[in-house]
Amino acid sequence: MENSKPTKTPCCLNVRLTPFDGSVLVNPSEYRSMMGALQYLTFTRPDLAFSVHQLCQFMNPPTTSHLEATKRVLHYVRGTLHFGIHLAPGPLTFSAFSDADWARDPTDRKSTTGMLVFLGLSPIFWSSKKQPTVSCSSTEAKYHALASTVVELAWLRTLFKELKLDESCDINGLKVSGVDEFVTES
């Protein structure tokens, strides 16, 4: 992979992997080793989180198409070695973004929640994971994503309270009044 050609995206657009694509790998340890390394890399590379999450669903048993998709992620990493998280000083304000795709997984029709939380201008938390239940509508899937995001913000509020950093804590759209209640802003 040292002389591989970099790609612009970590996964092919509009391609959904299933457990039945390709033939089963004879020795899946190489695939599992690459996925472990990529999972570790997502700690500092949130742009890989969705692709790696999708590929981790196929640890048992991985197929040739899953290995090809993993190699594409590695091609992307090769072309984006300078990417990463840059922390910048700024105000102690939270802003959070969340979204969900509705029933996008072709195997079980569960939705995937994605969220990103910033402290000032710096990303401090991100997640991309499958929702535990099947949603009946895109609105329901988005409400599940929003609820997950609010849970993370509430945890961060508690952490800030314990660290005594809560006096100026403002969550975009939600303002922390003291540290014991959320007040919705219009």
Q: Which fold has domain 93-184?
A: Ubiquitin-like (UB roll) (3.10.20)
* Predicted confidence (pLDDT) per residue in 146-158, tens digit: 999 999 998 988 8
- Among 136, 103, 98, 97, which residue's Cα sits nearest to residue 118? 97
The per-residue pLDDT for range 52-110, each reduced to its tens digit, is: 988 998 998 899 999 999 999 999 999 998 887 777 777 778 889 998 988 877 788 88
34 or 157: which carries more pLDDT confidence? 34
Q: Is 24 helix (H, G, I), strand (E, B) or coil?
A: strand
The pair of structure tokens assigned to 162 is 């314990």
Residue 181, number of CB atoms within 10 A of its CB: 10
Any idea where the domains of the chain sit in the sequence?
Answer: 1-84, 93-184
Percent of the chain residues past pLDDT 90, beyond the cut = 37
Asked if 70 and 38 touch (Cβ cutoff 8 Å), the reply is: yes
Q: Model pTM?
A: 0.63
Cα–Cα dist 2/104, whole Å: 34
